Structure 1
Amino acid sequence: MLGILRFTLILTVAAIPVALPAVLSVTMAVGAMSLAKKQAIVSRLVSIEELAGVDVLCSDKTGTLTQNRMTVSDPVPFGGHTVQELMLYAALASKEENKDPIETPIFEYIQKTGQTKELTRYQQTKFTPFDPVSKRTEAIVKSGDKTFLVTKGASQVILGLCGEQINQEEILGKVEDFAEKGFRTLGIAVKQPEAESFDFIGLLPLFDPPREDSKSTIKEAMALGLDVKMVTGDNIAIAKQIANVLGIGDNIFDARDLRGASNKELIILGKIISTAVFKKLSPDVSERDTEEFAKGVVKDIEKEFENIELPKGYVKRHESEIISVIEEADGFAQVFPEDKYLIVDRLQKAGHIVGMTGDGVNDSPALKKADAGIAVSGATDAARAAADLVLMAPGLSVIVDAIKGARVTFERMKSYSLYRIAETIRVILFMTASIVIFNFYPVTAIMIIILALLNDLPILAIAYDNTKVDAEPVRWNMAEVMSISTMLGILGVIASFGIFYIAEEYMHLSAPVVQSFIFLKLAVAGHLTIFITRTEDRFWRKPHPAPILLWAAILTKILATLFVVYGWFVAPIGWQNALIVWVYALAWAVVNDFVKVWAYKLLRKDKIIA
Structure 2
Amino acid sequence: MTPSAETTGTDRSRGLSTQEADARRARYGPNAVAEAKVPLWRQLLAKFWAPVPWMLEAVILLQLLLGRHVEAAVIAALLVFNAGVAFLQERRARDALALLRRQLHVTARVLRDAQWQRIAAEDLVPGDIVHVRAGDIVPADLLLFDGAVTLDQSALTGESLPVEAGAGNPAYAGSVVRQGEASGEVTGTGAHTYFGRTAELVRTASAPSHMQRTIFAIVQRLVLFDSLLVGLVLIYALRHRLPLLESAEFALMLLVASVPVALPATYTLATALASLVLSRKGVLVTRLPAVEEAAAMDTLVSDKTGTLTQNTLTLAGVKPLAPEADEAAVLRAAALASDDATQDPLDLAILVPARARGLLRDAPPRADFHPFDPTTRRSEGIYTVAGRAWHAVKGAANVIGPLCRLDAAGQAALEAAERQLGASGARVLAVAAGEAQDLRLLGVVGLADPPRADAADLIARLRTLGVRVHMATGDALETARAIGAQLGLGERVCEARGAGLRDVESCDLFARVLPEDKHAIVQALQQRGHVTGMTGDGVNDAPALRQAELGVAVASATDVAKAAAGVVLTEPGLAGVLTVVREGREVHRRMLTYTLNKVLKTFEIVVFLTLGLWLTGGFVMSSTLIVLLLFTNDFVTMTIAGDRVQPAPRPQRWRVGALVGAAFVFAALCLVFSFGFYWWGRTAWGLDPAQAQTLAFLILVFTNQANVYVLRCDGPLWSLAPGRWMLRASLADVVAVTLLAGLGLLMAAVPWTLVGVLLGATLGFALILDQVKRFVFPRFAIV
TM class, shorter-length: 0.7 to 0.9
Q: 2:415 aligned to 159, 172, 186, which one?
A: 172
1:33 aligns with 2:211: no
1:127 aligns with 2:352: no
Q: 2:341 aligned to 97, 105, 114, which one?
A: 97
1:107 aligns with 2:348: no
Q: 2:777 aligned to 593, 600, 606, which one?
A: 600
Q: Which amino acid aligns with 1:327?
A: E
Partners of 1:87 and 1:110 within 8 A in 2: yes
Deviation of the 1:164 alpha carbon: 5.3
Where do 1:242-261 residues align within 5 Å? 242-258=483-499
Deviation of the 1:565 alpha carbon: 1.7
The equivalent residue for 1:458 is: 636
1:591 aligns with 2:752: no
Q: 1:576 aligned to 753, 756, 771, which one?
A: 753
Q: 2:704 aligned to 499, 517, 526, which one?
A: 526
The equivalent residue for 1:205 is: 446
Query: 1: distance between equivalents of 2:602 and 2:405?
Result: 78
Instruction: Give the share of equivalent positions with the same residue, in percent.
Output: 32
- What whole-Å deviation, never above 9, does each CA across 1:296-315 have from its counterpart, x for those lacking one? xxxxxxxxxxxxxxxxxxxx
Query: 2: distance between equivalents of 1:94 and 1:513?
Result: 87
Q: Which amino acid aligns with 2:461?
A: E
The equivalent residue for 2:455 is: 214
Query: 2: distance between equivalents of 1:25 and 1:41?
Result: 16
Query: 2: distance between equivalents of 1:144 and 1:564?
Result: 102
Cα RMSD (Å): 2.3
Where do 1:457-606 residues align within 5 Å? 457-541=635-719, 543-603=720-780
The equivalent residue for 1:269 is: none
Query: 2: distance between equivalents of 1:16 and 1:161?
Result: 67
Q: 1:16 aligned to 233, 245, 259, which one?
A: 259
**Bigger mean CA offset, 413-422 vs 77-86:** 77-86
Deviation of the 1:115 alpha carbon: 4.9
Query: 1: distance between equivalents of 2:315 and 2:446?
Result: 6
Q: 2:481 aligned to 212, 225, 240, which one?
A: 240
Query: 1: distance between equivalents of 2:681 and 2:602?
Result: 23
SS of residue in 2 equivalent to 1:393 = coil
Query: 2: distance between equivalents of 1:372 and 1:163?
Result: 43
Unaligned runs of 5+ in 2: 1-243
Structure with higher helix content: 1
Deviation of the 1:163 alpha carbon: 5.8
Query: 1: distance between equivalents of 2:516 and 2:358?
Result: 42
Partners of 1:55 and 1:352 within 8 A in 2: yes
Q: Which amino acid aligns with 1:409?
A: V
The equivalent residue for 2:532 is: 354
Deviation of the 1:249 alpha carbon: 0.7
- What whole-Å deviation, never above 9, does each CA across 1:187-221 have from its counterpart, x for those lacking one? 2222147xx41133332210010011110111111
Q: 1:395 aligned to 550, 573, 585, which one?
A: 573
Change (3 A) 1:381 1:232: same
Q: Which amino acid aligns with 2:763?
A: L
1:72 aligns with 2:250: no
Deviation of the 1:474 alpha carbon: 0.4
Q: TM-score, normalization: structure 1? A: 0.83
Partners of 1:53 and 1:473 within 8 A in 2: yes
Partners of 2:533 and 2:548 within 8 A in 1: yes
- What whole-Å deviation, never above 9, does each CA across 1:541-570 have from its counterpart, x for those lacking one? 2x3322221222122111111111222212
Deviation of the 1:238 alpha carbon: 0.6
- What whole-Å deviation, never above 9, does each CA across 1:337-386 have from its counterpart, x for those lacking one? 23222222222222111112222222222222222222222222332222
Query: 1: distance between equivalents of 2:313 and 2:740?
Result: 70
**Bigger mean CA offset, 243-252 vs 140-149:** 140-149
Deviation of the 1:168 alpha carbon: 4.7
Partners of 1:357 and 1:376 within 8 A in 2: yes
Partners of 2:542 and 2:561 within 8 A in 1: yes
Deviation of the 1:143 alpha carbon: 6.2
Partners of 2:495 and 2:511 within 8 A in 1: yes
Q: Which amino acid aligns with 1:67?
A: Q
1:226 aligns with 2:470: no
- What whole-Å deviation, never above 9, does each CA across 1:439-460 have from its counterpart, x for those lacking one? 2322222222222222212322
Q: Which amino acid aligns with 1:161?
A: L
Q: 1:378 aligned to 527, 549, 556, which one?
A: 556
The equivalent residue for 2:425 is: 182
Q: TM-score, normalization: structure 2? A: 0.65
Query: 2: distance between equivalents of 1:327 and 1:382?
Result: 29
Query: 2: distance between equivalents of 1:172 and 1:509?
Result: 92
The equivalent residue for 1:446 is: 624
The equivalent residue for 1:279 is: none
**Bigger mean CA offset, 237-246 vs 369-378:** 369-378
Query: 1: distance between equivalents of 2:591 and 2:412?
Result: 60
Query: 1: distance between equivalents of 2:739 and 2:358?
Result: 85
Query: 1: distance between equivalents of 2:411 and 2:250?
Result: 88
The equivalent residue for 1:297 is: none
Partners of 1:55 and 1:227 within 8 A in 2: yes
- What whole-Å deviation, never above 9, does each CA across 1:149-187 have from its counterpart, x for those lacking one? 111112342233236599554443222111111111222
Q: 1:408 aligned to 553, 561, 586, which one?
A: 586
Deviation of the 1:600 alpha carbon: 2.4
Partners of 1:499 and 1:517 within 8 A in 2: no
Q: Which amino acid aligns with 1:213?
A: D
Q: Which amino acid aligns with 2:277?
A: S
Report the count of equivalent residues. Answer: 538
Query: 1: distance between equivalents of 2:768 and 2:398?
Result: 71
Partners of 2:635 and 2:729 within 8 A in 1: no
The equivalent residue for 1:58 is: 301
Partners of 1:17 and 1:424 within 8 A in 2: no
SS of residue in 2 equivalent to 1:64 = coil
Deviation of the 1:234 alpha carbon: 0.8
Change (3 A) 1:175 1:557: same
The equivalent residue for 2:288 is: 45
The equivalent residue for 2:397 is: 155
Query: 1: distance between equivalents of 2:612 and 2:560?
Result: 60
Query: 1: distance between equivalents of 2:260 and 2:542?
Result: 39
Change (3 A) 1:464 1:123: farther
Query: 2: distance between equivalents of 1:399 and 1:150?
Result: 40
The equivalent residue for 2:202 is: none
Partners of 1:517 and 1:581 within 8 A in 2: no
Change (3 A) 1:125 1:457: farther
- What whole-Å deviation, never above 9, does each CA across 1:86-123 have from its counterpart, x for those lacking one? 3332222112112111112222223433556x16x544
SS of residue in 2 equivalent to 1:521 = helix
Partners of 1:9 and 1:445 within 8 A in 2: no
Query: 1: distance between equivalents of 2:257 and 2:596?
Result: 17
Q: Which amino acid aligns with 2:391?
A: L
